[in-house]
Structure 1
Amino acid sequence: MIKLTQVKKTYTDHVQIGPIELEIPKAGLTALIGPNGAGKSTTLMMIGRLLQLDEGQIQVAGLDVSSTKSKDLAKIMTILRQENHFVTRLTVRQLVGFGRFPYSQGRMTLEDENITSKYIDFLDLTPLENRYLDELSGGQRQRAYVAMVLCQETDYVLLDEPLNNLDIARSVQMMGYLRHVADELGRTIITVLHDINFAAKYADHICAMKHGQIAAFGTVQEIMVANTLSDIFETNLEIIDGPYGPIAVY
């Protein structure tokens, strides 16, 4: 479980995230949704310790994120940011192999190589594994980054807008991959999504944010309510029954 207790991040007198009280259950896929500037990515970055919180406490699997050693935290949680700055003359295989660093410390064993191959294949990157990152499309690079964080094989996986640079077909494919990881491997995935309907179709729980606060948290059926979403996004939304569950219509 991930637990946030009175978590706060203050930027200015007028820009503040929190205080946040939130418990994300273990296993399954939780989507963070909300309008731009709601605090979704900031909250994810604080959970992943890429951004220091000003007040409160965050626990992941019972470990205090602020005080746990990095090498220990890296074995239970991994995070993918929106912006990645890896050297472009890395191959796909080299990039994905970085996911094994908490275990290999840069000295890849046969087991590490096999795990790397597993996730390269899982994300359909085998034909591209020897190509350099700067030779790939934005969508191909995004898949390689996701393969890297999955290769770390942590119980908790944090993804900040993993559908960036992906067209609709690849977005559907990516969410299918993540759903498989949650279901078959028992991972806990927390991801920031902009598309409400992707969240509704693939997530187990939805956490909706607005103005730096948790506006609503619950199952898909509990959150996919016209009045709730219309208030959060400040526009009129209608919820209809689709073939795979509720759909928000703008």
Structure 2
Amino acid sequence: MIEAKGVSKRYGRSLVVDDVTLAIPRGGITSIIGPNGAGKSTLLSMIARLAGLDAGSIHVGGLDVAATPGAVLARRLAILRQDNHLTARLTVRDLVAFGRYPHSKGRPSKEDEAHVERALAYLSLEDLAGRFLDELSGGQRQRAFVAMALCQDTDYVLLDEPLNNLDMRHAASMMRLWRRACDELGKTVVIVLHDINFASWHSDHLVAMREGRVCRQGSPDEIIREEALRAIYDMDIAVHAVSGRRVCLFYE
């Protein structure tokens, strides 16, 4: 479980995250949704200890994020950000092997090598393992970064807008990959998403933020409702049932 209690963050005079308290259940996908400027990515960065807390506390799997040594936290928690840009020319295998660094400290063992091979196979990247990242398509590079995160072998994975710059087919494939990782590998995945239909279709739990605060949280059936979405986004969004799931239509 990820627990935040009274968490706040300021940048200058702007209060970006305002006294947030929430519990993200272990297992499955939790999507954090809400309008631009709601504090979603900042909250995720604080959970990952990429941004400090001005107030409150965050625990991930019982570990105090602020007090736990980085090497220990990195064996429990992985994060993929929007800006996965590397200046070094790396092969897919090199990138995936970086996921083992919290365990190997740069001296990979046979066990670490086995993790790399399993991650490559899980993402069907064996044929691309020797290719350089700058030779791949955008979708292939995204799969390579997912393999790196899985190779880190953490219980918790945080994803900051992972569907940015992906077309619909690759975005849907990416969400299916994380759904599979949760169901087959027991991962707890927390995703910042702008596309509420992807959030509705693939998530087990939703956290909705607005103006730095959590304004709603619950299952997709509880949150993907016209009155709830109006309170979150301040606009009318039609909700329909498709194959037993709720999807949204909006043209404004």
Q: Confirm whether residue 164 of structure 1 aligns to residue 164 of structure 2.
A: yes
Aligned to 1:13: 13
Q: Is the 8 A contact 2:16 2:42 kept in 1?
A: no
1:231 Cα deviation (Å)? Answer: 2.1
CA distance in 2, matches of 1:165, 1:121: 25
Asked if the contact 1:39–1:209 (Cα under 8 Å) also holds between the matched residues in 2, the reply is yes
| Number of the residue aligned with 2:99 | 99
Partners of 2:178 and 2:200 in 1: how far apart? Answer: 14
Q: Report whether the alignment pairs 1:175 with 2:175.
A: yes
For 1:158, the aligned partner's letter is: L
Query: Which residue of structure 2 aligns with residue 131 of structure 1?
Result: 131
Aligned residues: 250
TM-score, normalised via structure 1 length: 0.96
Which AA in structure 2 matches 1:78? Answer: A
Q: How does 1:1-250 map to 2 (within 5 A)?
A: 1-250=1-250
Residue identity matched to 1:92? V
1:139 Cα deviation from its structure 2 partner:
2.4
- Unpaired runs of 5+ residues, structure 2, are none
CA contact (8 A) 2:123 2:147 kept: yes
Letter of the aligned partner of 1:160 in structure 2?
D
- Report the CA distance between 1:244 and its aligned residue: 4.3
Aligned partners of 2:78 and 2:157 also within 8 Å:
yes
CA distance in 2, matches of 1:58, 1:15: 18
User: Residues 98 and 148 of structure 1 are in contact (CA less than 8 Å); yes or no, is this contact kept in structure 2?
Assistant: yes
CA displacement at 1:122 relative to structure 2: 1.7
Whole-angstrom CA distance in 2 between matches of 1:40 and 1:212: 8
User: Quick one: which amino acid aligns to residue 75 of structure 2?
Assistant: K
Between the aligned partners of 1:131 and 1:79, the Cα distance in structure 2 is 24
> Contact conserved, 1:90 with 1:132, CA < 8 A, in 2?
yes
Measured in 1, the distance between the counterparts of 2:73 and 2:143 equals 24
Q: Quick check: 2:29–2:179 contact (8 Å CA) kept in 1? A: yes
CA distance in 2, matches of 1:210, 1:145: 30
Q: Is the 8 A contact 1:142 1:164 kept in 2?
A: no
Deviations, residues 137-196 of structure 1 (Å, cap 9, x unaligned): 222222211111111110011111122232211111111111111111111110111110
Query: What secondary structure, in the 3-state scheme, does the structure 2 residue paired with 1:52 have?
Result: coil
Over the matched positions of the two proteins, sequence identity in percent amounts to 49
Distance (whole Å) between structure 1 residues aligned to residue 124 and residue 162 of structure 2: 16
Task: Quote how far apart the aligned CAs of 1:13 are.
Answer: 2.6
1:244–1:167 Cα change, 3 Å? farther
TM-score, normalization by structure 2? 0.95
Structure 1 residues 22-70: Cα deviation after superposition (integer angstroms, max 9, x where no partner): 1001111100111111111110000000111111100011110001001
